[in-house]
């Protein structure tokens, strides 16, 4: 369907400044222009989505990753929990827009942005939802859906994402109840997920069963750890012990120790345990000379939490 309805979006000096900074890291004129215009294209869509009250996360995109944008032609914008939009630049006179292979995967839609001679404003020309059935290699301006409808499309996707998340929660709860997962099975699942996020594999390639220690009772425990860099040679070790006492509840012990040369934790280090909605459950501040700090919390099946470490300007959050 052909669409002539445009939305004109202004671009601010600061956004141009960031585009120039990104572009200045490139080694050729062609790449300089590509990165400059890609950055503006992403900002144009972000400005529109801000106006329409959709949350976006610039830094989560490949286009904000200095190495990826150096090697790939990317202009993606992440909408948290929904997906990525690809914001493709359209130069004057272009009617067919080629898509490089690196942008044909994991996009929820392609938004075309028309550039004119003056770069203080651009036109949002329309969008094309991505298709699961076929990989797209080019977009014709004639195939665009009206840009106004992008709001409806994203709203629907937000709800779908929300429904899927709830369905998954319901399904996993149901499965857990139906199959009555043993404590060891639950911990194996959890452990496996933790390893995906950079926690150390304690059993060093041995069978997982070795990492899961049974006590005289039915309790099962696993232990894993992660080194956190707090800057200025102040690494700390975050240790996590998960003990499953029954099929209904798991106990987590979170400990922070010094790592490296120092035998004590950095004074003033703030450690906060947050629930899955970001509410503080427990918090403490390291006092002078402290060698460790510990917390214990009880968790329901499938309940997640976060550990936040704050030291001066450094804030690190680990999701568990």
Partner 1 sequence: MCDRDTKLYNILREIFSHTIGSIEAREPINKLLNLVPSLPGIRKKDPEIFNLALESLYRGLIGEISGYRIPNQDNPEIIRKQFVKFFNQIYRRRELDVRRGKNKTISLNEPSGRNQDSDSENTRLDNLADVTLSGLDALIEEEQLEKRKQQQEKMRIFMETELPNRLNQATNQNPQCTCYEIVKRHILQEPSQSLTKIAKEFNINYQTLYSHWQRTCKRELEKIGQEFERS
Which residues, at least 6 apart from 298, have a Cβ–Cβ distance to it below 8 Å?
249, 250, 251, 252
Which residues, at least 6 apart from 208, have a Cβ–Cβ distance to it below 8 Å?
188, 191, 192
- Quick check: 169 binds partner 1 (CB under 8 A)? yes
- Quick check: 2 binds partner 1 (CB under 8 A)? no
- Quick check: 142 binds partner 1 (CB under 8 A)? no
Q: Binding-site residue total for partner 1 (CB under 8 A)?
A: 73
Element (H, E) at 44: helix 29-51
Among 94, 75, 93, 92, which Cα is nearest to 84's?
Answer: 75
- Report the site for partner 1 in 240-279 (rule: CB under 8 A): 277
Question: 205 or 215: whose CB is closer to partner 1?
Answer: 205
State which of residues 81, 96, 98, 106 lies at the interface with partner 1 (CB under 8 A).
106
Q: At 56, list the tokens.
A: 């976006």
State which of residues 39, 45, 46, 48 lies at the interface with partner 1 (CB under 8 A).
48
Shortest Cβ 285–partner 1 spacing (Å)? 27
- Quick check: 100 binds partner 1 (CB under 8 A)? yes
Please, what is the angle between helix 29-51 and helix 13-23, to 10°? 150
Site mask, partner 1, residues 53-92, x = CB under 8 A?
xx-------x--xxxx-xxx------------------xx
Shortest Cβ 144–partner 1 spacing (Å)? 14
Shortest Cβ 218–partner 1 spacing (Å)? 26
Shortest Cβ 90–partner 1 spacing (Å)? 12
Please provide residue 296's backbone torsions phi and psi, each rounded to the nearest 5 degrees: -130, 135
- Quick check: 10 binds partner 1 (CB under 8 A)? yes
- Quick check: 1 binds partner 1 (CB under 8 A)? no
* Distance in angstroms (rounded) separating the CA atoms of residues 206 and 254: 24
Please check whether residue 125 is in contact with residue 112, taking contact to mean a CB–CB distance below 8 angstroms.
yes
Residue 44's Cβ-side half-sphere holds a number of Cα atoms within 13 Å equal to: 31
- Quick check: 138 binds partner 1 (CB under 8 A)? no
- Quick check: 233 binds partner 1 (CB under 8 A)? no
Please check whether residue 218 is in contact with residue 183, taking contact to mean a CB–CB distance below 8 angstroms.
yes
């Amino acid at each position: 369907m052909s669409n002539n309805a445009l939305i004109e979006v202004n671009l601010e000096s600061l956004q141009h400044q960031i585009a120039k900074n990104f572009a200045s890291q490139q080694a050729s004129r062609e790449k300089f222009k590509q990165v400059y215009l890609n950055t503006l294209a992403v900002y144009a869509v972000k400005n529109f989505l801000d106006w329409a009250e959709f949350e976006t996360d610039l830094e989560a995109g490949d286009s904000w990753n200095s190495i990826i944008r150096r090697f790939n032609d990317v202009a993606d914008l992440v909408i948290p929990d929904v997906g990525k939009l690809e914001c493709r630049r359209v130069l004057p006179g272009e009617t067919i827009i080629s898509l490089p292979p690196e942008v044909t995967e994991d996009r929820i839609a392609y938004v075309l942005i028309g550039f004119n001679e003056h770069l203080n404003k651009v036109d949002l020309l329309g969008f094309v939802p991505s298709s699961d059935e076929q990989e797209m290699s080019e977009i014709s301006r004639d195939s665009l859906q009206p840009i106004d409808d992008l709001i409806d499309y994203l709203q629907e996707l937000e709800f779908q994402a929300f429904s899927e998340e709830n369905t998954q929660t319901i399904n996993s709860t149901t499965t857990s109840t139906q199959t009555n997962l043993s404590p060891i099975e639950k911990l194996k699942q959890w452990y496996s997920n933790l390893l995906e996020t950079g926690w150390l594999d304690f059993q060093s390639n041995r069978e997982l069963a070795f990492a899961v220690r049974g006590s005289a009772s039915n309790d099962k425990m696993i232990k894993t750890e992660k080194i956190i860099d707090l800057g200025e040679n102040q690494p700390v070790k975050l240790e996590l012990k998960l003990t499953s006492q029954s099929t209904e509840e798991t106990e987590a012990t979170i400990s922070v120790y010094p790592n490296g040369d120092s035998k004590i934790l950095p004074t003033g280090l703030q450690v906060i345990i947050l629930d899955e909605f970001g509410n503080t459950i427990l918090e403490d501040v390291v006092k002078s000379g402290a060698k460790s700090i510990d917390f214990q919390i009880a968790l329901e099946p499938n309940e997640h939490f976060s550990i936040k470490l704050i030291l001066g300007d450094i804030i690190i959050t680990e999701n568990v």
